[in-house]
Amino acid sequence: MKKHITDEKTGISYTLHGDHYLPDFSLPAEEEIHIGEWGQRHAAFLKKYQRSVYDEFFFSGKLNAYLAQIDRDAQEMFDLLTRQLAEQEGITEQLKAEDQMEWVQCMNSIRNRATEIVKP
């Protein structure tokens, strides 16, 4: 049996593995990009609820770039919301210097609310 064959109709080449010919497919090269918390959450959401969208990005080689952009956008939104809520509630550096425990409690509350708003 030949090690490599090509289907003339489709142009797909096959390689012999054991007793079977398997198509010579490979995924496009994708740049290594750090995906943060928000991007990972979005990836998990897509895998669970929108598998076809996830697969489309994955097989086109655009998944990492897409998730990195989602991560950047969500992080910017989270930072902006955190700053705005802290300003609205009067949480300042002065409070941090005077009463650290109250400042930590307030900031944790703000961060939790901002997370709930941004969360996909």
Residue 102: give the domain boundaries. 31-118
Least confident piece of the model among 7-16, 40-49, 73-82: 7-16
Over residues 18-57, the pLDDT tens digits come to 888 888 877 666 677 889 999 999 999 999 999 999 999 9
pTM of the model: 0.71
Q: Could you report the per-residue pLDDT of 79-110, keeping only the tens digit for each?
A: 999 999 999 999 999 999 999 999 999 999 99
In a shared domain, residues 41 and 88: yes
Same domain for 64 and 97, yes or no, is: yes
pLDDT at 75: 96
10: confidence class by pLDDT, cuts 50, 70, 90: confident
Same domain, yes or no: 82 and 52: yes
Q: Are residues 47 and 106 located together in one domain of the fold?
A: yes
Confidence of residue 7 (pLDDT cuts 50, 70, 90): confident
Q: Name the domain count of the chain.
A: 2
Are 71 and 58 members of one domain? yes
Residues 6+ apart with CB under 8 A from 7: 13, 14
**Nearby residues of 26 by Cβ (< 8 Å), 6 or more positions away:** none
